[in-house]
Amino acid sequence: MSLDQEDNDLFKGEESSFDLKTLLPKIIRVWPWILVSLAIFMGVAFYLTETTPPMYRVSSKFFIKENEKAFSFFENPAMSQDQGMGLTNEMIILKSRPIAEATLSKLDFQVEYFQQETFRKSEIYKQTPIVVEVDWKSPQLLHGNIQVNWLSANSYLLSFPDESYGQLFPDGSYSNLSKLESAEYKFGEWIETPNFKLKINNTSGQESGESFFVLRDKNYLVSQFSIGLIIELEDKNSSILNISLLSQNRSKGEAYLNALMSTYLELELFEKNEIANRTINFIDSQVAGVADSLIFFENKLQDFRSSNQIFNLSTESSAVFTQLTEIETQLANENLKRRYYQSLREYLVRENYNEIVVPSGLGIDDPYLNGLIENLLAVQVDRSRLRATQTDLSPQVREANKKLGDLNKSISEILENVDRNNLMVIADLENRKRQIESSFRSLPQAEQNLIRIQRQATLNENIYNYLSERRAESAISKASNTPSNKIIEYARAGMLQVSPKPSRNYLAAFFAGLLLPVLLVLGREFFQTKIEEPRYLERKLKIPVLSTILANKNKDENLVVFNSGKSGIAEGFRSLRSNIKFLVPKDKQLTFMITSTISGEGKTFCAMNLASVYSLTGKKTILIGCDMRKPKIFQDFGVKNDIGLSTFLSGQEEDYSKIVKKTQYENLDLILSGPIPPNPSELLFSSNFEKLVSHLKSDYEVIILDTPPVGLVSETLDLLTLVDFTLFVFRQNYSEKIFIDALNGLKEQKGVKNIYAIFNGMDANKVSYGGYGYSYGYGYGYYDDEKKSKKKFRA
């Protein structure tokens, strides 16, 4: 039929607008829940915003000088690292626990002070009404609020509002405490209990007030600040670091970052000065013995001159003295170098690099050896810093160990050559000394003795002056050391809080409160297995929907057409009757059946009332109850089900007119299903039923068959050939969506034609499709039942 094709095309064309047109009214219908949801989420956002301590970002800028030679605190060429790795290592070291611990040792952060506000406690720093002194050699309470309430300017009440507290013992062990008792104390006096020892001073001088403080141990603070530190490159092509952290108190965050940068520079300078300190210490150890020898020989020389009355040497003795003095001075310097080489070799064997002295500090001019020693010390410094934050198995530490091993081997090889050359120089000097001493023996005995003593005194004096000069150079080098890195910008806290952000919280709460009911509607729609919307039925069903019947609120009154003729339900059946006129030729005898998928969808209700509207038009109508399993019609019409279709089909009554029952309504007759037979399927399929329908067509203008559900029994399908068309009933929020596929299968796979649908039991107040007021196009509130409902609502 052409009408089928037109309707199918219509449904396909409207499919794209289904979601918006269907869901939007459903969402609007739950507006009270949306308001409730918004109120709840906005309240939660307000609570979180007001009770969460505000956090501020404190930031600073720190410059790192890269590729520094020799003893750079950060990077040196011996490591052969690229710029990125060097900066990464410095960022890791800045976040390390040793740096945090050294920084915190300068700050008094182990006592945190708070003041009570409306919804939360806020931390205060520096300008506190009380100052707490803590004896960390005694047990102390940790990580819990301790409340101080002024009783007067001199006394206070100490209470413990938290449920539990941690306790730190002097040996470093921890335990937990709970239910601590309050007590009164005096300001400025030490309080010593088994649980804590501290003293509270009233720095405000006030006679009333309230304050809170919390004690923190160093491990907690080190972890908090090292983990919380944020280090980023200011620019990817620069070596300037942006160091920041989040802090509840701006001043406290600024104090920590400034102390951190200062501590880092101090450690850098300390490591630079450590090289000079080792050189000075080595020289001091040599000078101590030389100074004693110098005093001894000077005294001896003076005594010899006084006792022998010899003060000046002869010309010949003076020449010999000068030559011996020069050679012995050179020999002393070479011996000093030899002692250095021997100590250096011992350090290399033991891999004790922390005590090595740079050769240039002692006047050893070998550039190759000096460069290797400087690189060795630089790698050692870098490895020590890496070990503070990494394990020995990390790639950086393993690379540093490898470089130290290579440098150790290279220096050992150089030392063999240098030491061999040193021995040759010493041997040559000793030989020259012996040659000069041979001429020395020809001098008078008194002058020989004077020369010996004066030689020793002069030699020690020269060595002493040499070492003193080297020590002064090392001291000057130490004094001139400055950090390679510097602070570009001291810490400064931003005025805007990072968290919580009220605008973000309220915006998120608004959208969450708005979306939650919407998502619930969407979720309900997604998991909905029942047919709820007439538009959905029209869109999915491949046959036309002839009419929509409103839900019958009065379950005790099924004949609504007769008893409530002005109701919307009755008008729905009139609309269905009008639409059926377009399916068959005018004035043609009508025979059709009404069925559904399962019991309870309202097919009998529709059959009775559709028969009623036809009888009211003057057409002689008969309603046949073909459902012999569950007879229902007789109850509503007030007749007995003693005889009926089963009686005629089983042959108990041969005259079909005997099973026809008159009703109290004009032009409407009934054939009830009759007593329940054992074989209803076989009876309907018998030739007697076909003959019955044939006879009735000659007597009645409209024949309506109320058949069993097609989803439960099989005989209904056998009746399709006896009728002009079939009306298939779906019920709102009762019929499953899969029933649509079953009916589409009848049409497409089994080729069933002339089948149409009715949407029954629709609640107009719960339908989002505005076109369905009451049935098609009828305004809400037009019918009597709706007026009564509205009056009742107003009452």
pLDDT tens per residue across span 105-144 = 999 999 999 999 888 899 999 889 999 999 999 999 999 9
Q: Is a pLDDT exceeding 80 seen at residue 374?
A: no
Q: Is a pLDDT exceeding 60 seen at residue 440?
A: no
- pLDDT-derived band of residue 365, with 50, 70 and 90 as boundaries? low
The pTM for the full model equals: 0.58
- pLDDT-derived band of residue 546, with 50, 70 and 90 as boundaries? very high
Q: Is a pLDDT exceeding 60 seen at residue 261?
A: yes
Mean pLDDT, residues 335-363 taken together: 71
Mean pLDDT, residues 644-661 taken together: 88
- pLDDT score of 363: 62
* DSSP-derived pairing of the beta strands 130-134 and 197-202: antiparallel
- Beta strands in 480-576, from DSSP E residues, in sequence order: 486-499, 545-550
* DSSP-derived pairing of the beta strands 725-731 and 590-596: parallel
Mean pLDDT, residues 37-63 taken together: 92
Average pLDDT, the chain: 79
Q: Which tokens hold the place of 228?
A: 């919380």
CA 795 – CA 782 distance, rounded (Å): 19
- For the chain, give the percent of residues with pLDDT over 90: 30
CA distances from 402 to 349, 352, 380, 410 (A): 16, 15, 11, 13
- pLDDT score of 305: 55
Query: Which amino acid, residue 766?
Result: K
| From 72-81, 383-392, 762-771, the region with the lowest mean pLDDT | 72-81
Q: Is a pLDDT exceeding 90 seen at residue 43?
A: yes
CA 416 – CA 426 distance, rounded (Å): 15
Query: Which amino acid, residue 285?
Result: S
- pLDDT score of 793: 36
CA 252 – CA 486 distance, rounded (Å): 22
> pLDDT of 693-731, one tens digit each?
999 999 999 999 998 888 655 556 677 888 889 999 999
Q: Which residue has the higher pLDDT, 81 or 20?
A: 20
Q: Which tokens hold the place of 39?
A: 């109120």
DSSP 8-state class, residue 708: P
Q: Which tokens hold the place of 602?
A: 């309202």
> pLDDT of 470-517, one tens digit each?
777 667 766 666 777 889 999 999 888 888 888 899 999 999 999 888
* Share of the chain residues as helix, strand and coil, in percent rounded to the nearest 5: 50, 20, 30
Q: Which residue has the higher pLDDT, 63 or 772?
A: 63
Please tell me whether residue 774 adopts helix, strand or coil conformation. Answer: strand
Mean pLDDT, residues 350-363 taken together: 65
Other C-beta atoms closer than 10 Å to the C-beta of 140 total: 22
Q: Is a pLDDT exceeding 60 seen at residue 80?
A: no
Q: Which residue has the higher pLDDT, 617 or 329?
A: 617
Q: Is a pLDDT exceeding 80 seen at residue 627?
A: yes
Q: Is a pLDDT exceeding 90 seen at residue 370?
A: no
DSSP 8-state class, residue 677: P
Sequential DSSP letters for 581-642: TTTS-TT--EEEEEEESSTTSSHHHHHHHHHHHHHHTT--EEEEE---SS--HHHHHT---S
Q: Which residue has the higher pLDDT, 549 or 414?
A: 549
- pLDDT score of 71: 35
Mean pLDDT, residues 728-737 taken together: 91
Query: Which amino acid, residue 46?
Result: F
CA distances from 35 to 77, 177, 503, 505, 510 (A): 67, 46, 20, 18, 10
- pLDDT score of 494: 85
Q: Is a pLDDT exceeding 50 seen at residue 628?
A: yes
Mean pLDDT, residues 220-246 taken together: 90
- pLDDT-derived band of residue 612, with 50, 70 and 90 as boundaries? very high
CA 62 – CA 186 distance, rounded (Å): 46
Closest CA to 503 of 20, 63, 45: 45
Q: Which residue has the higher pLDDT, 630 or 61?
A: 61
9 backbone dihedrals φ, ψ, rounded to 5°: -65, -40
Q: Kindly report whether the peptide bond that precedes residue 500 is cis, defined as omega within 30 degrees of 0.
A: yes
> pLDDT of 524-542, one tens digit each?
777 778 888 888 888 888 8
- For the chain, give the percent of residues with pLDDT over 70: 77
Given a contact cutoff of 8 angstroms between Cβ atoms, the answer to whether 642 and 722 are in contact is no
Q: Is a pLDDT exceeding 90 seen at residue 150?
A: yes
- pLDDT-derived band of residue 333, with 50, 70 and 90 as boundaries? confident
